[in-house]
Chains A and B, each alone.
Chain A
Amino acid sequence: MKINLIEYIKKAAESTTLSTVEQEKLDRVVTEYMAMKPLRGVSEVDRARLTSVRGNFFSPLSLLHVNKKYMPIAIIIALILSGSASYAAEGSVPGDLFYPMKVSVNENVGSALAFSLESKAAFEAKIAERRLAEAAKLASDHKLTGDVNAKLSKNFAGRADLALAHTKELEKKNASAAIGLASNFESNLDAHESVLAQIDTDGDTNDLRVLIRQKALLVSKLRMNAEGNANVSAESKDNLKENKGDNNINAHLKEETAVLMGLKAKASIREAQSLFTQVGSKLESATSAKVTAQIDSAVALSAKGDAFLEAKNFSDAFHSYQWALVTTNRLTVYLKAPKSIDIKILFDDRKSTELKSNERTQDSDSKELEDRDESPRSMQIFPFDLNIDGKAEVKTDIKTETKVEDIKIDVGGSGSGSIKVGI
């Protein structure tokens, strides 16, 4: 039989169309965006009134004049995902006038309009982290009451579970995106927990910190599982040597995965550098030096990833980029903390998540970390002061190259422990 391909292309097109729900969503987004950004001339009076308050279009008082119906949803999503603080309600905490709008309007609408699984997972993770940032701010002002703490914890747990569920679903379709999201979320949870530990002098956030560690462990397991599946998938395809076409597809998939991770890492480095420029003057010189060193390390990791990519070593490129991303995202959490705190250097989060299931604030004679696996990408130690629970200091000139050394650490002055480090 004769087949006219063009005819079938047209038939395929005819059966592809927007659903009613999708049309309505698109319509709402575009019309709301148009209303929020009207043509020049008609709304100059309105715009002048809105921008006169604090000189910021998104100031709290301006919201009183803006019909909620025309809230720029696409912009809200973009602002939330970018972490921008310029949207006034986004910076509010429980007890503030516009906090209910932030949670019940902005966040719920943003969630509903995140179309893809990746967007949904990233969105929920970001909202979960915002709860932790709010808790930190309240704790630093000694305003974290039991009732508010419970609500924040519940909301954090719910959002974290949603992020986990979406990421797990995403893994089936796009393992690289799922791994990237999980790495980021895991590291940021760890950083938030560290921030709370340092800020909360009243002990109000102990339960929340336990909850954070629990969720971080779940994310860690999800990430490791996804990485394991991705490696197995890649290896099994590599073994099909009789099918060159499949091997080419696998190589392309690995390259695509690495390239995407590289883009995310570079964007994160830029954000960390920008943030450091804004808040660097408020930091103590020692902390400032640590931040600079971590950013430099992330840049070096990214450059290493570029070199691996150039050499078509896609697996190592992916891991280098992943560590750069994790490093800078984590750093960003510290830089956004409500007060200047000590910045913990980055350990291997895969192991440290398990270690942190124990109480971090208890005195410990020594922490003996097992030898990491021999892979050069499994752990990084950066060349600056190493603080262990504030009771010991070790200066090390270990560079982030492949080298194994024993380090002796004097803990609490009552003895000595040793840590074997594989770099």
Chain B
Amino acid sequence: MKEKDTEGAFLLVFREHHDSLFRHAFFRTGSRERALDLTQDTFIKAWDYVRGGGEIKQFKAFLYKIMRNLIIDEYRRKKTQSLDDMSEEKRSFVDAELAEGSVWETETHIDEQDLILKVQEQLPKLPPQYCAVITMRFIDGFSPKEIADITGDTENVISVRLHRAITKLRTMLSYEN
């Protein structure tokens, strides 16, 4: 039956993407528990949409859009982020002058595991838009164009934001070290 095919397909999509969605939510929120809640809610909403007769062309992008909206709802509860965004935007120009790209030199020996842990800690602390683009680009594997489609921004805006986000993260990690 067609409905059985749809259910089967949905379950396949669920099992294919639930880990990556969880990972995305984790790096956006910094909390494992919240990430689990958000992942669960994403698939429930997706099923509601399918059940309501909605058509989905690109499942992966669709799921990330739902997740993104859920995270935005959460950020809206934290009004401070809007203030952070403004100040971070201004500071990013200074950061860009101090460094270039994602590669930087350090004189001290870096413990690899320690740096990985620091990335896990610091990434969720970035301003939401910066955290989102880094997560979607380098963790979820979306291209700048795909990110632009999901967020509704232009590809140029995404590219600039990526550069600033990487610079900001590098600065934060430098302070940590």
Q: Which residues of A contact B (CB under 8 A)?
A: 1-6, 8-13, 15-18, 22-23, 25-27, 29-31, 33-34, 37-42, 74, 115-117, 119, 252, 255-256, 259-260, 263
**A31–B11 Cα gap in the complex (Å)?**
8
The answer for the CA separation of A40 and B48 in the assembled complex, in Å, is 11
Stretch touching chain A among B57-65, B113-121, B147-155: B113-121
> DSSP majority for the B interface?
helix
CB pair B139–A263 under 8 Å, yes or no, is: no
Q: How many residue pairs between the two chains, A and B, have CB atoms under 8 Å in the bound complex?
A: 135
A17 touches B44 (CB 8 A): no
A3 to B10 Cα, complex, angstroms? 40
Given the contacts A2-B104, A23-B18, A116-B33, A30 and B40 also touching, CB distance less than 8 Å: yes
Beyond A13-B27, A116-B37, 8 additional pairs, beta carbon < 8 A:
A5-B170, A23-B19, A29-B44, A34-B11, A38-B7, A42-B4, A116-B33, A116-B34
- How far does the alpha carbon of A22 sit from the alpha carbon of B26 in the complex, in Å? 13
CB B62 to nearest CB in A, in angstroms, measures 15
| 5 pairs of residues in contact across A and B, judged by CB atoms under 8 Å | A4-B102, A12-B27, A18-B18, A30-B43, A259-B77
- The distance in angstroms between the C-alpha atoms of A37 and B3, with both chains bound, is 12
Q: Is B110 an interface residue (CB 8 A)?
A: yes
**A-contacting residues of B (Cβ < 8 Å)?**
1, 3-4, 6-7, 10-11, 14-15, 18-19, 22-23, 26-27, 31, 33-34, 36-37, 39-40, 43-44, 47-48, 50-51, 53, 77-80, 83-84, 102-106, 109-110, 112, 115-117, 119-120, 123, 134, 138-139, 166, 169-170, 173
Q: Which residue of B lies closest to A43 (CB)?
A: B3
**Which of A31, A40, A115, A256 lies in contact with B80, CB distance below 8 A?**
A256
Closest 10 A/B residue pairs (Cβ) = A116-B33, A12-B119, A5-B102, A252-B80, A13-B139, A42-B3, A39-B3, A9-B138, A115-B36, A12-B120
Within the complex, the shortest CB–CB distance from B150 to chain A, in Å, comes to 18
Contact A37 B51 (CB under 8 A): yes
The distance from the CB of B49 to the nearest CB of chain A, in whole angstroms, is: 12
